[in-house]
Structure 1
Amino acid sequence: MTAISAKSLVELLGDDDEQSHWLILEETGQTLPALYSLSPAPDYEWLFLHTPYAGLLKRSPLVLRLDTVAREIRQAFENDPRQGDFSGIVVSSHHPHDAVLAHLRRCLEVRFYGNRRAMLRYYYPAIAACLFAPDSKPHRQWLGPLDQWVWFGTTTQRLDEQPQWHALRDDTDTQAIASDESSRPITLSNGQENALEQHIRTSQATERTTHYHYHREGSLT
């Protein structure tokens, strides 16, 4: 696998007519209404459907075909892919839609710290940066039938890194994975665990700082 960067999304998507692209949007509570405000009949699927998380369908990310999505939706995503109503990531593949969707659903649950299991928000750009950065050493299983994972942001959690578009790509001739592997939760690498831990610490520190400044500015003392 290899990681590349680009200044624009279109550079990473390329012009392969046989390759399709999917947009995975995190549901913020305003995403679905915003989607319908830009398109009268958006074609999407619930990522959590047919998974153990189907009971949380109202919070389920939305999966859309980027190739056929309304121009306004794609533009809204590219304008603010990390925050707002259209935060999310992109995946590309030469495989059928059903195979891609099944893989995306499989990736929801991961194994970490030995035998622990949990749901992972890989569709959140900051989490994608932790998972797919070269230093995290992601397992080949993350790609499965995919050609690439694409996100906007950083490849590490360094605060001084300039955000841009990144992709983790398959650099092999085959995308086949053993059938017994495809039914198992993907195990996080040590690098991925470390990157996620660092992300959590950074997020908590930022939240504490924001909370402190909020109270200082609102204080009478």
Structure 2
Amino acid sequence: MTVNEAAAETRRTLLDIVLLACGEADADRHALAAADPVALGLRNATEITREAQASGALHRTSLELASAGSDLRTFVLVRLTDDGRAEPTWMVNGWSTIRAHGARADLRGAVLRGADLSGARLVGADLTDADLRRADLTKADLSGAVLRGADLSGSVLFSATLRGADLTESDLCRADMRHVDLRGAELMRTALRGADMWGAYTWDVDFGRAFTDGAQLDRADTLNAKVS
């Protein structure tokens, strides 16, 4: 078993962290139904649940929700009864749940465009291919997070921690990265064009394989950095 495979086995699914936040258990008897915030003014949780079950749109992971075209802003936690019916139990704010319980979570493919994740604890989370465009990650802790292929263009990472994070092929173009901690981060083919790096901690970071046009690296704290 590889290190990445072992790490994946210890990560919690989106359903797992929702159950934790709601004080519920038994993942096998629960699922998530996406709830468009606009539609909430027209349909209640019961109607949303019925429609989701009828269309086979009950999910357990962020990747399943993304494949169905749903973001993680709001959804209904659903309990599955013995006779096969789906009953709503909680209306869930996905952004708040991830802020509080996202550490070591499996959030691959998550659609978090424009999400308020300021102060989020996302240590060791897997955000591979996640859509974090224009997300607010101010002071978020993403230490050791996997962000391979993630889109963070235009996001706010002011004073965030990306120490030891895997940013391979991620997009950080025009991101606000002032005072971000990048020490030990992997920047293979990472796009940093136009990113504001003022005061960023980049000691011993190798930018040689990243795309850094207009990234204002001269504004970063590059003590002992390898910059090409």
TM-score with structure 2 length normalisation? 0.25
If asked which structure has higher relative contact order (CA below 8 Å, sep 6+), I would say 1
Greater helix proportion: 1
Larger Rg: 2
TM-score with structure 1 length normalisation? 0.26
